[in-house]
A and B are shown apart, each in its own frame.
Chain A
């Protein structure tokens, strides 16, 4: 009887996940294995498949532009992710005790950029950054400064692209952060207050430890999303100037567009996959996830 129940449970579980496994196999596992196979070839879609060993990987790894694109991706993530998390945490914390229609209005408002397309956001920010007649340079002019070519200056370009990225992702990050904060029972804070704990202690002994899993989730999601950013640099700068805004995804797209042979493009995509996986692994290692403390 016990064996039969166990068998039933096992069978039910696998039947329930079978469609998902099927879809993942068709749309993720098989394409990944095929991409891995193609990365060892010179493939032009027309000539017969030609095995070239590690040539494509060698080409990508020896290309300083690929290395630079990974560094640009990491720098971009460092601009976007911490700023997003801090802003979202501050927002969530201040929204925590807000109730009623005003809270609903604010939550809806901050979510609007999230549903906006990256292309539209890029165009809006292109208008803001425009060298002659742009809003930002107009403001700089009012303050007596000289015009700045925000998107053509190697020092400002990546920050200029990071701003719309933060803006686009803020709504979702903030709402997840708020949900995490609302999940912390009030009784913990009341008990802490009875024990004489101040705001600082409550923040570092209750809020942050209990938010650890949420922060880890947002950190991994944020890093993976921002290191793979494509639309903003593609529309706003095409990776320039001097490849200072060429993210790894844009590097891959440019090769996809310009190369006749696909091996190089696919090898770079697989290497980017390894980079993203490594970043996620490091983050998991640094911020150990664990079962909620409560």
Chain B
């Protein structure tokens, strides 16, 4: 009796355990190539179709599947990806691209989990400032061996530099977007007795305007308001007007505790202490549209929302170059942020991945023009041929905001820094510390200098700037 019970329990437990373990491993199984079971099925189906269709006795070329992961940005952005990926799949019978749109907050978790499992997507999004680190750690492939030179010759010169390391290209640049642009409400300018066609160009003018535009329930200006934003929104000013970044070019020492950075910190402090900027962010372009602020400094990408969500308000809004100490717009005030597509170094099909990108990002300029038109020219081309095409289209060429940003901001803008984020964050924290705790600005900068020097030492950054490495 006891023996029977034991045998019964043993069998039950074993079955239960095997069910649990099988349940854990049955779905989404991966084959040795790192492709999902679903993809394998698609590949097999395609192979069968090819077999059936083969009539000349030659072995048909096996259908290749590559995975493309992109960030979820605006709706038009996703529609654009979907449309052209579908078109590519329809016109390329031996290559299938699977598009996966990943929400921004899930991106890091999803892609790092895939990388850790050794199964990253073949093609994925990254930003310009990230390319150096990805290349240095062997995550992305040099693309010159898989592409033709005309793709790279078509790039704008500054963009070409942004995707080049040691003589090779590591990313297909899709777009650039200036990090800071001044938006202002023309009707509120009129109300305050200011000329709505004349935006402030110097820091002093910006301060005077902000004071005049501030009322009981409205702030004159909204700009960076926390350490995170103080860290990156002034990258362009650092290069164009301060003359150097927060770390030396060879990344060997901090260069943040000097008169230039003191002026920049005091620029923020002046507005904050005078109460003409909110002490906390009131939101993006929404705050300007809802008259909570009269001027706003933010990225060019806000244009898209302005022209869709707040299109009735768009005529009331002016766009101008971010004011600088001397008002000279030919010195950088913004950085060119933006997004690229890279090919993962673990991709089993790098040639097909590069072929797809050559067709998609580097091919017919109409594809990219469609993207910029759909986005109301909130973002800007990286290729000469796309710019030429846009200039031939009267409606696009006469878009005033596009013209101003292209002529006065994009061509003078600086590139994003390649050093680790925490280096930039040390300066952002110095600004926040001085504003919130009243710490002496130079003392705060000296603390940032120490923090950056500690980071250099701890992370062994000296001499590792990929932009200075030729081999």
Chain A residues with CB below 8 A from B422, complex form: 258
Interface presence of A242 (CB below 8 A): yes
Of B74-82, B130-138, B197-205, B329-337, the one touching chain A: B130-138
Q: Provided the pairs A22-B17, A151-B280, A152-B279 are in contact, do residues A15 and B10 lie with their beta carbons within 8 angstroms? A: yes
Please report whether the interface of chain B is mostly helix, strand, loop or mixed according to DSSP.
Answer: helix
Instruction: Give the number of A-B contacts (CB < 8 Å).
Output: 98
A130-B118 Cα distance, complex, nearest whole Å: 43
Nearest chain A CB to B165's CB is how many angstroms away? Answer: 15
Please report whether the interface of chain A is mostly helix, strand, loop or mixed according to DSSP.
Answer: loop
Pick from B17, B226, B346: contact of A46, CB below 8 A: B346
Q: Provided the pairs A18-B17, A46-B137 are in contact, do residues A132 and B278 lie with their beta carbons within 8 angstroms? A: yes
Best-surrounded residue of A131, A152, A241, A243 (most CB of chain B within 10 A)? A241
Whether B429 pairs with A242 at a CB distance below 8 angstroms is: yes
Best-surrounded residue of A4, A242, A261 (most CB of chain B within 10 A)? A242
Q: Provided the pairs A16-B13, A241-B436 are in contact, do residues A45 and B227 lie with their beta carbons within 8 angstroms? A: no
Whether A132 pairs with B6 at a CB distance below 8 angstroms is: no
From 269 to 324 in chain B, residues with beta carbon under 8 angstroms from any chain A beta carbon are 278-280, 282, 292
Mask: chain A, 10-43; 1 = CB below 8 Å from B; 0 = not: 0110011011001100100000000000000000
Interface presence of A67 (CB below 8 A): no
A62-B454 Cα distance, complex, nearest whole Å: 9
Whether A44 pairs with B138 at a CB distance below 8 angstroms is: yes
In the complex formed, the residue of B with least CB distance to A14 is B13
Whether B433 pairs with A131 at a CB distance below 8 angstroms is: no
Whether A257 pairs with B108 at a CB distance below 8 angstroms is: yes
- 8 more A-B contacts (CB under 8 A) besides A19-B20, A44-B138, A63-B458? A15-B10, A18-B17, A22-B21, A46-B115, A132-B278, A152-B280, A154-B436, A240-B227
Interface residues of A (CB under 8 A from B): 4, 8, 11-12, 15-16, 18-19, 22-23, 26, 44-47, 59, 62-63, 130-132, 149, 151-154, 238, 240-243, 256-258, 260-262
Between A and B, 27 residue pairs with Cβ closer than 8 Å are A8-B6, A23-B20, A44-B137, A44-B138, A45-B112, A46-B137, A46-B139, A46-B345, A59-B458, A62-B454, A63-B458, A132-B278, A132-B282, A132-B292, A149-B280, A153-B279, A238-B226, A238-B228, A241-B227, A241-B436, A242-B227, A242-B436, A256-B108, A256-B112, A257-B108, A258-B421, A262-B112
Interface residues of B (CB under 8 A from A): 2, 5-6, 9-10, 13, 16-17, 20-21, 24, 108, 112, 115-116, 118, 120, 133-134, 136-139, 217, 225-228, 278-280, 282, 292, 345-346, 420-422, 429, 432-433, 436-437, 454, 458-459
